[in-house]
Structure 1
Amino acid sequence: MLPLALSLGDPAGIGPELIAACWADRQVADLPPFFAVGGARLLVEAAATRGITLPVAAITDPAQAAACFGQALPVLGDLDGAYTPGQPAPPGARLALASLEQATALVTGHAAAALVTGPIAKAELAQIGFAFPGQTEFVADACGVAPQDAVMMLAGPALRTVPLTVHCALASVPALLSAELIERRCTIVARAMQRDLGIAAPRLAICGLNPHAGEDGRMGDEEIRIIAPAIAALRAAGWDVTGPQPADALFTPRARATYDVAIAMYHDQALIPLKALDFDQGVNVTLGLPVVRTSPDHGTAFGIAGRNLADPGATIAAIRMAADLSARRGSAA
């Protein structure tokens, strides 16, 4: 199998030190070969803040990564910059973007098995002209996929959940919801569950938007006007879909046993339970792409960068999931 490509993320955040920590834990965590795109010097400096002496192997081709992975962290290319933990700045944002661009090109060009993206600061990238809401939309565009067809799923040991609307104001959510959006994205999710996770008959549980799922229209009518018709259409298409369900009860242990993925109406409705249950093992995986892309489900954490406090568990989980998904796709080819 080809190695995985890891983008650095913002060098002022915890991404670089977690890449170093994952390589240091490669045997204990049983990780497949991966390489970082750029940042050889700053990765060594970031590793030192965790007490890790990081050997680095410069590579010019992803195919060289596997041979040296056991002895050193493979780093592709000459991209590099200053390591300034907790102090984001435009040069760091430019490095993060260049690493993301190169890593994405390697994966879409079939030189790497999958893409694992380090955490970026959206505000910092916006200041240097990054035109996308986030990395998901950037990777989708690079793959020629419409942004509405790239679906973010958050996955951990206890829960998988998908927010139908993502980075927007809460006040904007009701106007963004439509039966067509729900049908389209749930179909993408269900097909990805079959192809990438090997779940032949995926069970989707769809949240309501309002408290108590609207309580028959007493607390809002989006469930009646939008969500219920979408569920009916999905069922008519042969998918196992339930709802609209009250979100305050959908994430209990008993309820989670009844579905494979929960479909939420907005960002926090999906991410709060995922982070409460699986913060140190949560993975952001993009569904609907021709390539595999995952990311740890946490941000740059500038406040703890360089202090040996960040847990590598989510990055380890993202690497494992990327390898598992790409292997499953390869076996199904």
Structure 2
Amino acid sequence: MTDAPVLALTTGEPAGIGPELAVMLAAAGTPAGRPVAVGDPELLAERAAAIGRPLELVELGPGEPVPEARPGRLPVWPVSLAAPARPGVLDTRNAGYVLETLDRALAACRAGEAEGMVTAPLHKAVIVEAGQAEFTGHTEYLRDACGLDEVVMMLATDRALHAAGSGWQGPRALRVALATTHLPLREVADAVTPARLSRVLRILDADLRRWFGLDAPRIAVCGLNPHAGEAGHLGSEELDTIAPTLAALRREGLTLDGPLPADTLFTPRHLADADAVLAMYHDQGLPVLKYAGFGRAANVTLGLPLVRTSVDHGTALDLAGRGVADPGSLAVAVSLAAEMARRGRG
């Protein structure tokens, strides 16, 4: 029996590309691990037929062993749609189904059926419109489901990215974590507090050690304002909040550089020794990472008691059902989850 980790793979928004990405990955052969799709088997069969990918679906009941991975085979933990799904057409009736797939994947991890979970993209707006007004995304949903005060969103490029010639000239794979996630920009400054920064940086440091095998991770920290505040002339958050917090954490043993101007931090000279970058807000760090490796990166939730990775893109409703979506990011997410799960065994 292989030691490849079993991974619960949620298939995401049923009107989007998630179901067919799972089909494509299974048809080609998974790069690592043994993904088990969490979703509606009929939906997966329909999408496989629509995009012309032969597929052997293996429905698994509670406690049934997961078969060996092989091209063209996709094990499934079944969750039934509430309403028929059409590619590209959102339906609020299926919002509960999407959340149920997340709950099933979490349950599999907690029960030891899976060593981690990988999530295909969901559509936040349709879940909110279905009555889940507080829903802001996978990251926050999993945080709350695990009863945590803080988790950290980090995107990481594939380690092979630079050798593959993406146009990005950085010296190594890029990892960008966020101090704040899905907040309106006008709320970000108030959210960047010493307590939040301390929690986020401690989680980032601990999980870079735990899941990525780094003995003494070096983290480069962005400032909040242009030019990192220009000595207080363009904002005081660096002087009043970020720099004192970093100094306190250095005394705890964390290796931190910054606060650094974001417009120059993301250059090879500054990234040469950085194992990760902490950006203050979503669109400060992620546009750079996605330029460097869109479709070859994965989203990782740090601070959870389990492995969770995801794709670096959305539901792509306009591509759904056509067989033209790129499964590259899902392959990276599965490979990274498998690597993290193996490391977590030790």
TM-score (norm 2): 0.90
User: Percent of counterpart pairs with the same letter?
Assistant: 42
Deviation at 1:315, TM superposition (A): 0.4
Name the CA distance, whole Å, in 1 between partners of 2:11 and 2:179: 27
Shift of 1:69: 5.1
CA distance in 2, matches of 1:325, 1:30: 14
Contiguous gaps of at least 5 residues in structure 1: none
Structure-1 residue corresponding to 2:299: 284
CA distance 1:78–1:300, shift in 2 (3 Å): closer
> Aligned-pair distance for 1:292?
0.7
* Structure 1 position 258, deviation (Å): 2.0
Match of 1:118 among 117, 120, 123: 120
Structure 2 residue identity aligned to 1:141: D
Q: Does 1:300 align with 2:310?
A: no
Distance 1:278 1:325, change over 3 A: same
Alignment of 1:120-199 (within 5 A): 120-130=122-132, 131-146=134-149, 149-157=150-158, 158-199=173-214
Q: Any idea what SS the aligned residue of 2:86 has? A: coil
Residues 76-117 of structure 1 show CA distances to partners (whole Å, capped at 9, x for unaligned) of: 125245231111111332221221111111112222111111
Pairing 1:8–2:11 present:
yes
1:221-280 CA distance string (max 9 Å, x none): 111111110111111111110101110111122322120100000001121111111111
Q: Give the partner amino acid of 2:22.
A: I
1:214 to 226, 229, 233: 229
8 Å contact 1:45–1:83 — kept in the other structure? no
Task: For residue 132 of structure 1, report the CA deviation from its aligned partner.
Answer: 3.1
SS of 1:290's equivalent in the other structure is coil
Aligned twin of 1:42:
43
- Where does residue 83 of structure 1 map in the other structure? 85
Q: Which of 90, 94, 97 is the aligned partner of 2:96?
A: 94
Whole-angstrom distance in 2 between the partners of 1:298 and 1:185: 23
SS in 1 for 2:294: helix
Unaligned runs of 5+ in 2: 159-172
Pairwise CA RMSD: 1.6
After TM superposition, give the deviation of residue 128 of structure 1 in Å: 2.3
TM-aligned CA distance change 1:50 to 1:263, over 3 Å: same
How far 1:217 sits from its partner (Å)? 1.1
> Which SS does the other structure have where 1:219 is aligned?
coil
Q: 2:343 aligns with which of 316, 328, 331?
A: 328
Say which is worse superposed, 85-94 or 310-319, in terms of deviation. 85-94
Aligned partner letter, 2:294:
F
Equivalent-residue separation in structure 1 for 2:140 and 2:79 (angstroms): 26
Cα deviation, 1:19-44, whole Å, max 9, x if unaligned, reads 00111121xx5332111112111112
Residue correspondences, number:
327
Larger mean CA deviation between 186-195 and 88-97 belongs to 88-97
Query: How far apart, CA to CA, are the structure 2 residues paired with 1:264 and 1:230?
Result: 15
Indicate the residue corresponding to 2:168 in structure 1.
Answer: none
The code of the aligned residue for 2:89 comes to Q
* Aligned residue identity for 2:336: M
Contact 1:96 1:120 in 2 (8 A): yes
SS at match of 2:318: helix
Separation (CA, whole Å) in 2 of partners of 1:83 and 1:53: 20
Deviates most, 247-256 or 209-218: 247-256
Asked whether the 8 Å contact 2:79–2:101 carries over to 1, the reply is: no
Q: In the alignment, which residue of structure 1 is the partner of 2:170? A: none
Range with bigger deviation, 226-235 or 122-131: 122-131
- Structure having the higher helix fraction is 1
Q: What does residue 23 of structure 2 align with?
A: 20
**Aligned equivalent of 1:32:** 33
Deviation at 1:302, TM superposition (A): 1.1
